[in-house]
Structure 1
Amino acid sequence: MKLQSLIIATLFSATAFGQIEKDSLKEIEKVNILVKKKLIERKADRLIFDVDASIASQGMDAGETLANVPMLKVDENMGTISITGKSSVNVMINGKMLNLQGTALLNYLRSIRSENISKIEVITTPPSKYEAQGNSGLINIILKKNPNLGFSGNINTGFTQRTYFNGTTNGTLNYQTEKLSLSLKTSYIDGAKRSNERYTILGESKNYSESTRKDMWQDLTPSLNASYKINKNSEIGMEYIFGGEKNGMDILNTTKNIGSDLRETNLITNTFHREKSPTQTFSTYYDLKLDSLGKKLSFAGNFYKNNNDTEVNFSTLTLPENTIQDVRTLSKIKPQIFSVQGDLELPFSFGTIETGAKFNQFRNSADLKYLDFENNQYTIDNEKSSTFNYREENYAVYGSFAKSFGEHWETKAGLRYENTVVKSSVNNFSYGQFFPSAFVSYKAEKNMFSLSYSRRINRPSMSNLNPFRWYENPYSYSSGNPLLKPSYINNYELGYTYNNKFSTSIYYLKLKNAFGQVGFLDGISQTGDYLNYYNNNFYGANVSYTDTFFKFWETTISANASYQNSEVFNMNAETSNGTSVSYSINNTFILNKTKTVALFLNYDQSLPYKNVNSYFHNFSNLNSGIKVSLMEKQLQINTTVTNIFAQRWKGDKYYDDNSQHFNNYWDGRSFRLSVNYTFGNKKKFSKKNINFEEKDRAN
């Protein structure tokens, strides 16, 4: 501390004598280096990762940075971000939900540079302030505040070479005055990949199916974010995002069916799938500081609309009959979401009270037309066509209380109540549930202990509920189930952190009334439907260690192990208790004294494991690359090779009367080159993103 004070005093003296600002900034950077930051910090309800303290996270985008955080896994091929040992999570920026998913989310994260990120919070058991929807929790990316005024921005472009070429371009332009902040962001994706999927059902009859697919996507997503400080105590802001997404698939499927009478039928289907999905999202907020002690009142509103228009044409050759069936399906799906919320934060000397209320409405209308080609024209098959209307309203209130006891103890407890009313073409019902949460932590010198609990709900998405039959050929289809009920999750977690490097946690997760897709085979007809069909108990542990050796090598070692038991209902299946083990080793090596060139080598593996009635085979992944920073980190060049082993995803499902086996490859091996240039102010201003968690269920 004496050395730090001495350098700061020197800086003030230097300013007094009129030395140039650039030299002062360099001295400040030296102070930051001398004051060693905590890489990992655990609080009562979250694990905090300091990006500046991580060598591996320098010169990267936000998506790559998330992959360096212990317990997190980023799968670019699947478009998912998940907590190790658990399912995918939602992403927030500065405490507000990011309104993007899948490829669009990862492309957005590529436009955020790691040098603009302060910390990343992993919230495995979210407090009552947040939506009860979802299983694993939340990730909160905290951006650095920008004290500078004027223009700033960055341009990022890159390509990924799989079987086909993929290109991405992102651009951001920021403008800030003392009261007004503006940010215009545009991202563009254009690419394709090759997928190969094999699915086998072995029962009284046998079905062998293989699809080779070319997935294509094109997405232009401009967005505008604006905020204005009315006075020192109040601020208003808005965000508008337009998504011009276009997707397509060209599929060749071959299916061999051997009936119980040993009669063999072969199907060859060519499918042409084209989809337009323009979306509009508008969000607004108003924040009011009630006093100088931190009391704050906030209001937010959100609106989302999607006009999905899909055409699927398929032609099926049936052998040995040597007949051809041509079919066209036309679907229009129009989900729409509206939400409004208010939050009140009241810090007092005896503790902090938070309370609020929220209303959201989810509406969807869907129309599917199935047309057969007969007598040189398409005619509608009314039995296979359908319409579906759905409306859901959710009313929520919450309250929480947080208090610290001295320097060692930190506590927080809350309760959220949500009442849901559902009206659809086939079913009307309502239900209300309480969702409690509680957290406590103890800190003493280098040791940090935490204990947390929260109850969650997992509501079906629209694709789960929609009863449409999505046909692959005239005999095979998948559909949703409008009678699905939500599942409920109870999360318990005990965590420990030592010296901000070693972190471990043990958890118990009880999942009740869980749902998923189940496959059936009836003669030549292969179908898939969603059912509530199992309960699950998970007992697990996460361990991670991060450290720097010899000033040039940073490594993070993470591991997860879990044991599960389950029970099945609504169907007949063979269940068994199972264990799972996965681990990852991430290494970054600095190759020069100026720390502008780095090599990274990352490996992760999931050993074979069982869950409910499924068995998943071993899967491993090796990634490597080089990153270079030039022009005082304004120009950054990264090259990456992913899934070097070109692993396939394999698994088996066991039922009383059949077994099902899949063997898939989704073009995971790739080479990626990205170039990022930052101009103007080096730091982006911290923009406010609006909490809009319900939007995920529109998919």
Structure 2
Amino acid sequence: MIVKSSLLRFSMLILTLVSLSFNGFTQIQGSVKDSLSQPVPFANVQLMNVLDSSQVMGVMATEEGTYMISEFSPGRYIIGVSAVGYKPAWSASFEIKSSNDHIHLNPIIVESNVYQISDVNVVARKPIYELKMDRMVVNVENSITSSGNTALEILEKSPGILVNRQNNSISMAGKGGVQVIINGKQSRMPIDAVMQMLDGMNADNVKRIELITTPPAKYDAEGNAGIINIVLKKSEDFGTNGNFSLGAGVAKREKMNASLNMNHHVEKFNFYGLYNVNFNNQRSSITTYSSFEQNDDIVESYGKSNRSALVLYQNIRMGIDYTLSSKTTLSLLTNGYVRDYQMDAYNNINYLIENMESSRSRLETDELNKWIHGMGNINLNHRFHEEEVLDINIDYLNYYNNNPSDFTLENYNPEGEFVDGEDIEITKTTPIDILVGAVDYSNRKNEKVKWELGFKETLTWFNNDVAVKYFRDGRWEYDPELTNKSWLNENITAFYGSLNWQVSEKTGITAGLRYEYLNSVLDTEEEKGIVDLHYGKFFPTFYASQKLNKNNTIQFSYSKRIDRPTFNELAPFVTFVTPESFVAGNENLLPAMSDIFRMDYQLKSYIMSLSYTKTKNSISRFQPVYSEDGERQYFISMNLDKSENISVVLALPITVTEWWKMQNSLSWVWQRIATNYEGTYIDYKQNYYNLSSSQSFTLSNQFSAEVSGFYRSKSLEGIFVQKPLGRLDLGVQWRSKSQNSRLNLNVSDVFKTQVLKREAHVPELKIDNYYAIDWEPRILRLTFTHNFGNKAIKMRKRNTASEEEQRRVTQ
């Protein structure tokens, strides 16, 4: 009934706006390009009367070089363009015949007003890292070592970002609870699924990555560390264009990737699509150590796991935009992926008592983990006036996970003689359905004041069916402790409002308030209401910026955020690590609440950022606990009572010469966790730092090179201490004279130093664990990319209502 009522309300609103949309207003859209067809950002664009060249209206082009002019009378006009460093340019004359015309002009080409030496072309390139007021921007498309890599590998090298592939987590400036969004819109994809998506997404399809530390009230309050915005490539105006890339790599085994990106815009229709496929024949190894009590003895376990995995990831994204009138655009978007993961592992475990080998075990694993996802979105964007916009989204998402595993356990005595064995079978299926509706309204009252209002409703259902059984004495026996069926029903209702006030030319203030109310109930076959949460919270945001003078700016921000458990963390599940240790879910997880204070100071192109975060019930993943009888160890997500974080980030771009440019960043983080951990109070503190640098070299008109890398000292991850790690990448690039094609050759992790190592030594909890994971990171890659068709095609940036919802579905 709730679903039908919500759909009915949204459908009626869409029909009302569609009926109003045919009373449109005049609109002119176009773009400004240089002689190499590159966008000219922030150009002055003037609409002039043909008869006397008088100015009718003036606007400024966007960072992408696009502009839009609306609400003026019919007549004959021309467009004039001026920009610093370029000669003035004009469009051909055109006629506006009615007050409902919607015109797309060809790109206006401007020429540089600087004399050029014969046979030398100077092409402006954005730096790999850009620091803006509220975010760090990583320009992926300009990085040579990015080509052929995945978006996750690029994110992994970004300043202040820590990617943990073992427990599927991403932290920013030392804080977990990161929210990943696509093209500025939120999703409920869990962080595990996000990581798999990014690990299968070719970096050639990504334009930039934005690290947003203080998100505005428009975004869901989810993610206590901030937001990572993945911006996909887009283009402008009429025509057909696209690009494709083919790549191959080799490490211990082969890697292959391909992608196709196409856009077609004719009259009122805009079609676009993206497909990419990534194949990885992966070899990895995991080394483990743990100690535990057994029959009053301290048993030490040494394990070595050699894994062979075939990973095939396919992603498709298609959309249609239809311009109903100059006021209204109706859009349909579909997105989906299939991830096939097949893994064989051979685990050898040696057990010691008082330094003497007591037994041996061999555990063979055959695992299949398949994820299928489909999403449909309908969007209506209506402009009452140029600065008054209503945006409506309805999304439906479905995820289906099938994760069966077969284990063969053989036990031997110290002399290597077979003692006994058993077969273990685990089945797990998890279908998830999500329905999301969102309405966003924005209005600029004048040049100084802009305000926004919005509403969002999210409905979620999932089933989780996991079974563990052992083949003993000629028959299968279920493990009652690990076998479970559960059902979750959840809805989140949210309202927000924000105000942006440009107090003066040098002072700006933004304030927002978001309210979210959650109902979440998780039932199992054995117990109803095992999770039964009903609460509402306010999430304020505040941002102030003061420009001291031409070269100095200072800003301050505050936000309150929440980090909710992912669906799979709440759903019971189990994965074997060794015969006596498992990775499992935790249905008792609570959401984490954070207060975040931040101050930034900018001196020319140098920026220093200082932030302080205090979190209650912070979620720390992959933490060790023992069963009641002490014979089993589980690695689960846990709430920590209190955590604090202080971070300082320095960005130091340096131009050594015209052909050598450096982007450097230095991060220092102080961490503290204080919690009652399984009945024992612990209080840990840790300092760590992160250095990253990218060196770009222009070798000739067509050849360039890049050296990039990072180093991170030891840090805390719950009660685990993560050992130092680093990475160095090298790459060279060739571009054709037309700039339409490029060939990249690069090698990642040259010295093979990106090996994840963690240890936890807590004697009072009888916890002594260590593991090291070698993901086979060093890869030699060759990638060819070609752009085809019209270089100036308009593709609307398609946002949906459910980006945040997708974050919470884990793989």
- Alignment TM-score, normalising by the size of structure 2: 0.77
Which amino acid counterpart does residue 689 of structure 1 have in structure 2? N
Q: Matched residues, percent identical?
A: 21
TM-aligned CA distance change 1:5 to 1:382, over 3 Å: closer
Give the match for residue 354 of structure 1. 452
**Are residue 680 (structure 1) and residue 774 (structure 2) matched?**
no
Shift of 1:33: 6.7
Which amino acid counterpart does residue 412 of structure 2 have in structure 1? L
Greater shift, 217-226 or 452-461, is seen at: 217-226
Question: In structure 2, what is the Cα distance between the partners aligned to 1:6 and 1:157?
Answer: 38
Question: In structure 2, what is the Cα distance between the partners aligned to 1:36 and 1:158?
Answer: 24
Q: Is the 8 A contact 1:259 1:523 kept in 2?
A: no
Secondary structure of 2:505's aligned partner = coil
Greater shift, 133-142 or 242-251, is seen at: 133-142
Deviations 1:155-174 (A, max 9, x none): 11112212221111111221
Deviations 1:199-230 (A, max 9, x none): 21235432222222123211222221111111
Which amino acid counterpart does residue 776 of structure 2 have in structure 1? D
Question: In structure 2, what is the Cα distance between the partners aligned to 1:605 and 1:232?
Answer: 51
Give the match for residue 159 of structure 2. 71
Which amino acid counterpart does residue 561 of structure 1 have in structure 2? W
Deviations 1:20-53 (A, max 9, x none): xx9994825979979998998766533457789x
Greater shift, 537-546 or 547-556, is seen at: 547-556
Give the match for residue 666 of structure 1. 775
TM-aligned CA distance change 1:529 to 1:587, over 3 Å: same
Question: In structure 1, what is the Cα distance between the partners aligned to 2:777 and 2:128?
Answer: 31
Give the match for residue 587 of structure 2. 482
Give the match for residue 582 of structure 1. 690
Give the match for residue 394 of structure 1. 492
Question: In structure 1, what is the Cα distance between the partners aligned to 2:138 and 2:425?
Answer: 51
TM-aligned CA distance change 1:379 to 1:175, over 3 Å: same
Give the match for residue 809 of structure 2. 698
Deviations 1:70-103 (A, max 9, x none): 7364869788776444447444454224777224
Choose which of 330, 340, 344 in structure 1 pairs with 2:427.
330
Give the match for residue 206 of structure 1. 300
TM-aligned CA distance change 1:187 to 1:14, over 3 Å: closer
Q: Is the 8 A contact 1:144 1:683 kept in 2?
A: no
Q: Is the 8 A contact 2:457 2:492 kept in 1?
A: yes
Secondary structure of 2:218's aligned partner = coil
Choose which of 143, 147, 152 in structure 1 pairs with 2:241.
152
Question: In structure 2, what is the Cα distance between the partners aligned to 1:13 and 1:234?
Answer: 26
Give the match for residue 671 of structure 2. 564
Which amino acid counterpart does residue 577 of structure 1 have in structure 2? K
Give the match for residue 286 of structure 1. 380
Q: Is the 8 A contact 1:145 1:683 kept in 2?
A: no
Question: In structure 2, what is the Cα distance between the partners aligned to 1:217 and 1:688?
Answer: 29
Shift of 1:410: 0.9
Question: In structure 2, what is the Cα distance between the partners aligned to 1:471 and 1:509?
Answer: 35
Structure 2 unaligned regions, length at least 5: 1-42, 45-80, 94-105, 116-120, 293-297, 524-529
Question: In structure 1, what is the Cα distance between the partners aligned to 2:612 and 2:717?
Answer: 15
Greater shift, 58-67 or 184-193, is seen at: 58-67
Question: In structure 1, what is the Cα distance between the partners aligned to 2:486 and 2:107?
Answer: 66
Count of aligned pairs between the two proteins: 685
Deviations 1:543-578 (A, max 9, x none): 011133321111011000122222111423654321
Give the match for residue 513 of structure 1. 617
Give the match for residue 19 of structure 1. none
Which amino acid counterpart does residue 267 of structure 1 have in structure 2? S
Which amino acid counterpart does residue 729 of structure 2 have in structure 1? N
Give the match for residue 599 of structure 1. 705
Give the match for residue 623 of structure 1. 729
Shift of 1:409: 0.6
TM-aligned CA distance change 1:59 to 1:645, over 3 Å: closer
Give the match for residue 420 of structure 1. 518
Question: In structure 2, what is the Cα distance between the partners aligned to 1:57 and 1:165?
Answer: 19
Question: In structure 1, what is the Cα distance between the partners aligned to 2:362 and 2:322?
Answer: 60
Deviations 1:115-142 (A, max 9, x none): xx6xx64320111110111122223456
Shift of 1:512: 1.3
Deviations 1:419-476 (A, max 9, x none): 1111111232212111111000012211121111111111111221122233345533
Give the match for residue 137 of structure 1. 226
Structure 1 unaligned regions, length at least 5: 16-21
Question: In structure 2, what is the Cα distance between the partners aligned to 1:645 and 1:393?
Answer: 48
**Are residue 309 (structure 1) and residue 402 (structure 2) matched?**
yes
Give the match for residue 277 of structure 2. 188
**Are residue 464 (structure 1) and residue 569 (structure 2) matched?**
yes
Shift of 1:505: 0.4
Question: In structure 1, what is the Cα distance between the partners aligned to 2:797 and 2:685?
Answer: 47
Shift of 1:184: 2.1
Shift of 1:109: 4.9
TM-aligned CA distance change 1:531 to 1:65, over 3 Å: closer
Shift of 1:346: 1.6
Give the match for residue 450 of structure 1. 555
TM-aligned CA distance change 1:670 to 1:11, over 3 Å: same
Shift of 1:61: 8.4
Q: Is the 8 A contact 2:275 2:317 kept in 1?
A: yes
**Are residue 613 (structure 1) and residue 613 (structure 2) matched?**
no
TM-aligned CA distance change 1:646 to 1:56, over 3 Å: closer
Secondary structure of 2:808's aligned partner = helix
TM-aligned CA distance change 1:76 to 1:176, over 3 Å: farther
Q: Is the 8 A contact 1:72 1:83 kept in 2?
A: yes
TM-aligned CA distance change 1:584 to 1:673, over 3 Å: same
Superposition RMSD in Å: 3.5
Question: In structure 2, what is the Cα distance between the partners aligned to 1:269 and 1:182?
Answer: 51
TM-aligned CA distance change 1:101 to 1:590, over 3 Å: same
Choose which of 310, 313, 333 in structure 2 pairs with 1:219.
313
Shift of 1:677: 1.0
Secondary structure of 2:201's aligned partner = helix
Secondary structure of 1:464's aligned partner = helix
- Alignment TM-score, normalising by the size of structure 1: 0.89
Q: Is the 8 A contact 2:556 2:600 kept in 1?
A: yes
TM-aligned CA distance change 1:97 to 1:432, over 3 Å: closer
Question: In structure 2, what is the Cα distance between the partners aligned to 1:390 and 1:557?
Answer: 46
TM-aligned CA distance change 1:497 to 1:534, over 3 Å: same
Q: Is the 8 A contact 1:59 1:633 kept in 2?
A: no
Which amino acid counterpart does residue 291 of structure 1 have in structure 2? H
Choose which of 537, 549, 554 in structure 1 pairs with 2:656.
549
TM-aligned CA distance change 1:85 to 1:640, over 3 Å: farther
Choose which of 112, 131, 134 in structure 1 pairs with 2:205.
112
Deviations 1:256-275 (A, max 9, x none): 33458978232210000012
Shift of 1:11: 5.0
Q: Which has the larger radius of gyration?
A: 2
Secondary structure of 1:27's aligned partner = coil
Q: Is the 8 A contact 2:144 2:731 kept in 1?
A: no
Deviations 1:325-359 (A, max 9, x none): 01211211111211111111121125111111111
Secondary structure of 1:544's aligned partner = strand
